[in-house]
Structure 1
């Protein structure tokens, strides 16, 4: 795995061994960030961080700061290693905890990245908690990855699906807060 764009382009990332963590493929990560608005100066939350690749990609492309959370101690060790290797420790906070503890009242983000383990209903629960806590800023965006074989997750009255894209077995969902206006 490597960083696809920005100031860290081409640098290699460490990733966890085994099947417990499923890193977002370079191709998918590149497509996600090429589809996004300008992430310059954005605050980012990567709620199921894995290797931290998605948040580090955002930082490479100009995001101001990131919180990267993961429940797995092994994943947190890899995230720390990647953050240190890229010299990003001043811009990254790592939270080695369950996503329910990683989401904190009063904190909000411009970009929230969600790539939980497939088929465990964690995406629905995390989206509900994000909405309940107001964790997405007014013009912010949520990017969520699911298995293309999972049922659609687009039924969130507080959010609008901006677009979806499928890459092999991965389905990417782009959401914004619903203010009663389509195509924000």
Structure 2
């Protein structure tokens, strides 16, 4: 696992082997950030990283200049790893929370420019994630939700769905909040 862009480009991340995670592959992460660099400005955006695990995605956004990155995971070991790695590499914009993601979302009121969710693939509540985020209005106008999931799973029935990108057994489904109308 490595940071592929920004001020920490090339940094190898070596999380403990015993973390309960399935990190996004470097290939899929590189493809995702190639897409994102063409559609968003990373500087100063606010990001919510759900099921953050090793913090691989949170650290990538912070390395590229995101202003605030919130990482949420239920594993205290994952939260401690991300907190320690962030401190070690000067990524002061990363804040971590140990919480069940669905309980966290039930209480969250802040809006974000981008929300990334990488739940365990066997979680049966994955289709609820877009519904909760859009029902609670957790994205700023024009904001993006990206859900990583098994390629066999289809999340396209949500009205804010825009596209699915497949990378082997993993896919990213993109959802976009409506732009503000004046």
**Normalising by the residue count of structure 2, what TM-score does the alignment of the two structures yield?**
0.89
Deviations 1:11-39 (A, max 9, x none): 12233424731001111111111101222
CA RMSD of aligned residues (A): 1.7
Q: How many residues align?
A: 175
Secondary structure of the residue aligned to 2:127 is helix
1:83 to 77, 81, 86: 86
* 1:178 shift after superposition: 4.4
Secondary structure of the residue aligned to 2:115 is strand
Find the aligned partners of 1:93 and 1:19 in 2 and give their Cα distance.
19
> Residue 81 and residue 122 in structure 1: after superposition, are their counterparts in 2 closer, same or farther (change >3 A)?
farther
Find the aligned partners of 2:19 and 2:46 in 1 and give their Cα distance.
29
Contact map agreement 2:149 2:172 (CA 8 A) in 1 = yes
* 1:124 shift after superposition: 1.8
Unaligned runs of 5+ in 1: 180-184
Find the aligned partners of 2:108 and 2:19 in 1 and give their Cα distance.
32
Contact map agreement 1:16 1:50 (CA 8 A) in 2 = no
**Normalising by the residue count of structure 1, what TM-score does the alignment of the two structures yield?**
0.88
Contact map agreement 1:144 1:172 (CA 8 A) in 2 = yes
Secondary structure of the residue aligned to 1:33 is helix
Unaligned runs of 5+ in 2: none
Contact map agreement 2:66 2:93 (CA 8 A) in 1 = no
Runs of 4+ in 1 over 3 A off after TM superposition: none
